[in-house]
Amino acid sequence: MTQHEKLAMAHALEDLGVDILEAGFAISSDGDFAAIQAVAKEIRQPRITSLARAKREDIERAAAALEHAQRSRIHIFLASSDIHLEYKLKMSREEALEQAAKAVALARTYVDDVEFSPEDSTRTEIDFLCKIVQVAIEAGATTINMPDTVGYSVPNEYGAMFRIVRERVPGADKVIFSSHCHNDLGLAVANSLAAIDSGARQVECTINGIGERAGNAALEEIAAAISVRFDQYPVDHNLKLDQLYPASQQLAKVISFAPSPNKAVVGSNAFAHEAGIHQHGVLSNPLTYEIMTPASVGVPTNRMVLGKHSGRHALRSRLHDLGYQLTASDLDAAYRAFTELADKKKAIYDQDLINLVAHHKRNEDLISAEPISEAS
* pLDDT tens, residue by residue, 327-361: 887 788 888 887 888 888 777 777 777 777 777 66
Region 179-183: mean pLDDT is: 98
C-alpha 244/C-alpha 271 separation (Å) is 14
85 and 98 Cβ atoms separated by less than 8 Å:
no
Q: Name the DSSP class of 216.
A: B
Region 298-323: mean pLDDT is: 75
Q: Name the DSSP class of 365.
A: -
Strands 114-119 and 202-204: unpaired
pLDDT tier at 367, thresholds 50, 70, 90:
very low
Residue 64 dihedral angles phi and psi, to the nearest 5°:
-65, -40
For residue 230, is pLDDT > 70? yes
Q: Is 169 exposed, middle or buried, given 0-12, 13-18 or 19+ CB atoms closer than 10 A?
A: buried
For residue 365, is pLDDT > 70? no
- The rounded percent of the chain whose pLDDT value lies above 70 is 90
Residue type, 190: A
For residue 240, is pLDDT > 70? yes
Average pLDDT across the chain, whole number:
90
H helix runs in 140-243, sequence order:
155-168, 188-197, 219-228
Region 122-127: mean pLDDT is: 98
For the 3-255 domain, the top CATH level (class) is alpha beta
Strand ranges in 211-332 using DSSP code E only, listed in sequence order? 272-273, 303-304, 324-325
Q: What confidence score (pLDDT) does residue 337 get?
A: 83
- The rounded percent of the chain whose pLDDT value lies above 90 is 70
pLDDT tier at 282, thresholds 50, 70, 90:
low
What is the value of pTM for the model shown? 0.85
Positions of CATH 3.20.20.70 in the chain: 3-255
Region 292-306: mean pLDDT is: 80
Region 310-323: mean pLDDT is: 78
Region 169-175: mean pLDDT is: 98
Region 88-112: mean pLDDT is: 98
Sorted by sequence, the CB contacts under 8 Å of residue 123 that are 6+ apart come out as 81, 83, 149, 150, 152
The better pLDDT of the pair 133, 305 is held by 133
Q: What confidence score (pLDDT) does residue 366 get?
A: 42
C-alpha 304/C-alpha 312 separation (Å) is 12
Region 92-116: mean pLDDT is: 98
Region 184-209: mean pLDDT is: 98
5-9, 297-301, 308-312, 335-339: which range is least confident on average?
308-312
For residue 376, is pLDDT > 50? no
Q: What confidence score (pLDDT) does residue 15 get?
A: 98
72: nearest Cα among 103, 104, 40:
40
Q: Give the DSSP H/E element, type plus range, for residue 106.
A: helix 93-108
Q: What confidence score (pLDDT) does residue 303 get?
A: 65
Region 318-334: mean pLDDT is: 79
Region 202-217: mean pLDDT is: 98
Q: What confidence score (pLDDT) does residue 39 get?
A: 98
Strand partners, 179: 146, 203
The better pLDDT of the pair 305, 106 is held by 106
Q: What confidence score (pLDDT) does residue 274 get?
A: 63
For residue 375, is pLDDT > 50? no
pLDDT tier at 374, thresholds 50, 70, 90:
very low
175 and 199 Cβ atoms separated by less than 8 Å:
no
CB crowding 90-118: b at 16 or more within 10 Å, else e: eeeeeebbebbbbbbebbbebbebbbbbb
Radius of gyration of the chain (CA): 26
